[in-house]
Amino acid sequence: MRTNALVWSTIAAVFIPGIAAAQTVATFLGLFNICAGLMIVAAILIFVGGFVQYLVLLGLEKRTEGLKLMFWGVTILFVLVVLLGIINILQGPIFFIIGVFIILFLCFVAVLALAKAGKPSAAPPEH
For residue range 12-47, list pLDDT tens digits in order.
655 665 555 555 666 666 777 788 888 888 889 988
Question: Tell me, what amino acid is at 90?
Answer: L
Split the chain (127 residues) into runs of 10 and give each run's mean pLDDT: 62 59 62 81 89 84 84 86 76 70 79 70 58
b/e code 84-119 from CB counts within 10 Å (16+ = b): eeeeeeeeeeeeeeeeeeeeeeeeeeeeeeeeeeee
pLDDT score at 57 = 81
pLDDT score at 109 = 81
Burial of 10 (0-12, 13-18, 19+ CB in 10 A): exposed
For 73, the 3-state DSSP assignment is helix
Burial of 73 (0-12, 13-18, 19+ CB in 10 A): buried
| Nearest to 35, CA basis, from 105, 97, 83 | 83
Domain boundaries, the chain: 2-92
> pTM for the complete prediction?
0.52
Counting every residue, how long is the chain?
A: 127
pLDDT score at 119 = 60
